[in-house]
Amino acid sequence: MNLILLKSGDFISENIACLSDFRFEHIKKILKLRTGENVKTGLLGGKIGDGEIIEIGEENVKLRTNFYKQPPERNPAILFCALPRPKVFRRVLLNAATFGVKETHFFHSLKVEKSYWQSPFLSQDSINEIVENALMQSVDTVAPQVCFHKFFKPFVEDVFAQRVKGMRSFVFHPSKNSQEFDAEKSEKCCVVIGAEGGFSDFEIETFEKCGVKIVSIGERILRVEQVVSAVLGRF
């Protein structure tokens, strides 16, 4: 945890926050900080700064906050990913948020098991936990927008086709017709990653109608979370 992420409900006055959960345990037992010392803090959706410990006891810690720095720039990529297995979903969302992606879409495709949509990991509480862990790891305060689309064709025709207008878009699908992926580090674009096993011919054709470019990052077949990290790291 490289940042103590604070929410509006943590404040007992204008600039004094009181923590008694895992963040308190981290400050006391991991960082082993004492009264008068500072810890890096950030306000969810706001700025980053310092928190001076003004009181620490057996049950909670009180911090005097001073936020003065803007969060880091967002990753220019918009991520579209076929919904992976529940445990992989956690890692994909964590990695994307850690890389600074601020808009992530998960959608259904032929090789997505319908049971994946019933996973408790897709609950809002679980998503909040994953995202907040990513923000504290990467020293960021701006949570991403996370969207879900349970039907492939309406997703591509009604959502994806509109979202990609005016942007370069890449579908990662290793095949003999794939081109090598080239990314401009500051370029806003859309990247599409399939489930384990990739996309069907019909799905590729549907994406191509939106003007996307079919690309790959090499001959090796990678896991979904590995592709996500490899692609987002290019930006």
Tokens of 166: 């005016």
Beta bridge pairs of residue 214: 171
> 88 and 53: one domain?
no
Are 63 and 33 in contact, with CB atoms under 8 Å apart?
no
Of 69, 93, 120, the domain-final residue:
69
The predicted-structure confidence for 1-50, as pLDDT tens digits, reads as follows 899 999 999 999 999 999 999 999 999 999 999 999 999 999 999 999 99
Burial tier of 41 (Cβ tally within 10 Å: 0-12, 13-18, 19+): buried
85 and 60 fall within a common domain: no
Structural domain boundaries, residue 55: 4-69
Task: Choose the final residue of a domain: 21, 45, 69.
Answer: 69
Name the residue with tokens 């923590």.
19
Q: Measured between alpha carbons, how far is 92 from 231 in angstroms, rounded to an integer?
A: 12
Q: How far is residue 66's CA from residue 172's CA, in Å, rounded to a whole number?
A: 43
How far apart are alpha carbons 195 and 209 in whole angstroms? 20
Examine the domain organization and report whether 63 and 82 are in the same domain: no
Write the pLDDT tens digit of every residue in 73-96.
Answer: 999 999 999 999 999 999 999 999
Residue-averaged pLDDT of the chain: 92
Give the tens place of pLDDT for each residue, 59-75.
999 999 999 999 999 99
Pick from 204, 179, 222, 192: which is nearest to 110 by CA?
204
> Measured in Å, how far apart are the chain's first and last C-alpha atoms?
24
Predicted confidence band of residue 186 (pLDDT cuts 50, 70, 90): low
Q: Give helix then strand counts, H and E, for the chain.
A: 7, 12
Q: Which two tokens stand for residue 181?
A: 């992926």
Q: How high is the pLDDT of residue 183?
A: 62
Q: Are residues 129 and 84 in the same domain?
A: yes
| Cβ neighbours of residue 209 closer than 8 Å, sequence gap 6 or more | 161
pTM above 0.85, yes or no: yes
Residues 166 and 219 in one domain: yes
Q: What is the pLDDT of residue 175?
A: 62
Q: What pLDDT sits at residue 179?
A: 62
Residues 115, 52, single domain; the answer is: no
Tally the domains of the chain: 2
DSSP 117: G
Q: CA-CA distance, 2 to 20, in Å (whole number)?
A: 18
**pLDDT tens-place string over residues 100-130:** 999 999 999 999 999 999 999 999 999 999 9
